[in-house]
């Protein structure tokens, strides 16, 4: 029998359209000889089509495994993962805690710091803040202002002075109650793909060269002018360091299945810093997570096979756990 794979896509986030594109790539990569694809589209208003997944064990017997391709809020933040845990279904990607913790940029930074991993200096604000300038003074201008729980650079602004900082905070506050303000790093941007459960593997990194001042949503998905170089033009020592940090961050956050670790490298010092960890990275035609694995000899159809295998392996190991005395 073919494995019945429920692909979840769309969703209630600013990354709805990106999710549709990623899902299309995943669906096309699923071998029709091995898999039966079940489409689950979630509208921007949160309506499921053709029907919702039921949050109870054995309530979805027509599904063998779920492949969430939901970026951002209500998809990458542990909410859908919690639904799938209640439903007792195997699913691709990290679990509830890892998804939620990686999605929250401030929590991710705190947990990485606890493991001695390098992150960009930051201040966390709870919504629009009258004393934001004072709280962020030690960072120095320019600064980046971000919603704490969003991806694809949605709601991110760069502030060069006090007025721009206030405007950037107001913009970010439209998307999240928690806001992150970071020291702007003058340097280079890199990404490293991680794959696996208990013993994850890392790809060679890629370098992202934005066509604009920084790699924002427009540059990622609309202009089609940003360049990505695989493998990144780095010496062996720096490449090895980046791969080690990516793996350590993945394990520190309790990730399983997949994640993409994004880095900044400061031009003046050459220091590597973790920027973000994406637990459902993009799978669009321009997304770097599948491209990095393709460079490693794992084309998208094989990558999708492996992600499903990892989901089933984790589910099998969890079935041995006891939940009652």
Binning pLDDT at 50, 70 and 90, where does residue 266 land?
Answer: very high
The reply to whether 314 belongs to the active site is no
Quote the pLDDT of residue 129.
59
Specify whether 114 is located in the same domain as 218.
yes
Specify whether 236 is located in the same domain as 175.
no
Structure confidence by residue, pLDDT tens digits, 293-306:
999 999 999 999 99
Read off φ and ψ for residue 269, nearest 5 degrees.
Answer: -105, -20
Quote the pLDDT of residue 214.
57
> Which pTM does this prediction carry?
0.91
Active-site residue, from 260, 275, 287, 314: 260
Structure confidence by residue, pLDDT tens digits, 142-188:
999 999 887 657 789 999 998 999 899 999 988 888 999 999 999 99
pLDDT of residue 320 exceeding 90? no
Q: Are 95 and 254 in contact (CB under 8 A)?
A: yes
Active-site residue, from 11, 278, 289, 314: 278
β-strand pairing of 206-209 with 227-229 = antiparallel
The reply to whether 221 belongs to the active site is yes
Structure confidence by residue, pLDDT tens digits, 204-232:
999 999 876 655 555 555 556 678 999 99
Asked whether residue 278 is assigned to any structural domain, the reply reads: yes
β-strand pairing of 3-10 with 65-69 = parallel
Asked whether residue 264 is assigned to any structural domain, the reply reads: yes
Active-site residue, from 262, 287, 306, 314: 262
Specify whether 172 is located in the same domain as 107.
no
Quote the pLDDT of residue 227.
85
Asked whether residue 279 is assigned to any structural domain, the reply reads: yes
What is the rounded CA–CA span in Å between residue 218 and residue 250? 28
Asked whether residue 222 is assigned to any structural domain, the reply reads: yes
Of 132, 155, 183, which closes a domain? Answer: 183
The reply to whether 149 belongs to the active site is no
Q: Are 67 and 92 in contact (CB under 8 A)?
A: yes
Of 164, 183, 202, which closes a domain? Answer: 183
Structure confidence by residue, pLDDT tens digits, 10-56:
999 888 999 999 999 999 999 999 999 999 999 999 999 999 999 99
Asked whether residue 319 is assigned to any structural domain, the reply reads: no
User: Domain tally for the chain?
Assistant: 3
Asked whether residue 164 is assigned to any structural domain, the reply reads: yes
Active-site residue, from 9, 221, 250, 289: 221
Specify whether 219 is located in the same domain as 299.
yes
Quote the pLDDT of residue 122.
93
Token pair for 243: 């791969």
Asked whether residue 318 is assigned to any structural domain, the reply reads: no
Question: Tell me, what CATH number does 126's domain have?
Answer: 3.30.1490.20
Q: Are 303 and 297 in contact (CB under 8 A)?
A: no
The reply to whether 77 belongs to the active site is no
Question: Tell me, what CATH number does 275's domain have?
Answer: 3.30.470.20
Give mean pLDDT, residues 251-268.
97
- Higher local confidence (pLDDT), 325 or 249: 249
Of 130, 162, 183, which closes a domain? Answer: 183
The reply to whether 152 belongs to the active site is yes
Quote the pLDDT of residue 273.
97
Give mean pLDDT, residues 109-123.
96
What is the rounded CA–CA span in Å between residue 42 and residue 12? 7
Token pair for 214: 């920084």
Specify whether 57 is located in the same domain as 204.
no
Active-site residue, from 276, 289, 306, 314: 276
How much of the chain exceeds pLDDT 90, in percent? 78
Give mean pLDDT, residues 193-214.
89
Specify whether 284 is located in the same domain as 194.
yes
Asked whether residue 235 is assigned to any structural domain, the reply reads: yes
- Higher local confidence (pLDDT), 157 or 132: 157
The reply to whether 282 belongs to the active site is yes
Quote the pLDDT of residue 48.
97
- Higher local confidence (pLDDT), 105 or 224: 105
Specify whether 191 is located in the same domain as 299.
yes
Quote the pLDDT of residue 150.
74
Domain enclosing residue 64, as ranges: 3-93
Quote the pLDDT of residue 137.
84
Specify whether 229 is located in the same domain as 242.
yes
Structure confidence by residue, pLDDT tens digits, 89-98:
999 999 999 9
Active-site residue, from 9, 14, 15, 287: 15
Specify whether 14 is located in the same domain as 83.
yes
Quote the pLDDT of residue 39.
98
Question: Tell me, what CATH number does 33's domain have?
Answer: 3.40.50.20
The reply to whether 15 belongs to the active site is yes
Specify whether 234 is located in the same domain as 109.
yes
Quote the pLDDT of residue 222.
52
Specify whether 24 is located in the same domain as 160.
no
* SS3 assignment, position 232: coil
Active-site residue, from 22, 149, 152, 287: 152
The reply to whether 276 belongs to the active site is yes
Quote the pLDDT of residue 286.
85
Q: Are 30 and 41 in contact (CB under 8 A)?
A: no
Specify whether 172 is located in the same domain as 245.
no
Active-site residue, from 93, 155, 257, 282: 282
């Amino acid at each position: 029998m073919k494995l019945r794979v429920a692909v979840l896509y769309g969703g209630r986030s600013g990354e709805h359209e990106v999710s549709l594109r990623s899902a299309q790539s995943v669906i096309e990569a699923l071998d029709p000889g091995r898999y039966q694809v079940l489409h689950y589209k979630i509208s921007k208003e949160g309506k499921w089509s053709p029907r919702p997944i039921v949050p109870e064990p054995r309530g979805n017997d027509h599904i063998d495994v779920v492949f969430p391709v939901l970026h951002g809020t209500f998809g990458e933040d542990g909410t859908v993962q919690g639904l799938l845990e209640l439903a007792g279904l195997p699913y691709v990607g990290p679990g509830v805690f890892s998804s939620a913790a990686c999605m929250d940029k401030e929590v991710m930074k705190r947990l990485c710091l606890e493991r001695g991993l390098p992150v960009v200096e930051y201040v966390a604000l709870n919504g629009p803040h009258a004393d934001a300038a004072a709280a962020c003074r030690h960072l120095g201008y320019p600064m980046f202002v971000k919603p704490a729980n969003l991806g694809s650079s949605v709601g991110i602004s760069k502030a060069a002075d006090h007025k721009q900082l206030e405007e950037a905070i107001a913009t970010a506050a439209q998307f999240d109650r928690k806001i992150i303000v970071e020291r702007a790093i003058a340097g280079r941007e890199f990404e490293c793909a991680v794959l696996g459960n208990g013993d994850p593997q890392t790809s060679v990194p890629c370098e992202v060269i934005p066509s604009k001042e920084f790699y924002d949503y427009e540059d990622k998905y609309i202009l089609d002018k940003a360049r990505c170089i695989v493998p990144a033009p780095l010496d062996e020592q720096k490449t090895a360091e980046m791969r080690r940090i990516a793996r350590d961050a993945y394990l520190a956050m309790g990730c399983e299945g997949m994640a993409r670790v994004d880095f900044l490298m400061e031009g003046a010092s050459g220091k590597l810093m973790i920027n973000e960890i994406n637990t459902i990275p993009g799978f669009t035609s321009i997304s770097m997570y599948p491209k990095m694995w393709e460079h490693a000899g794992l084309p998208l159809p094989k990558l999708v096979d492996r992600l499903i295998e990892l989901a089933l392996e984790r589910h099998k190991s969890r079935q041995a756990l006891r939940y009652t005395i």
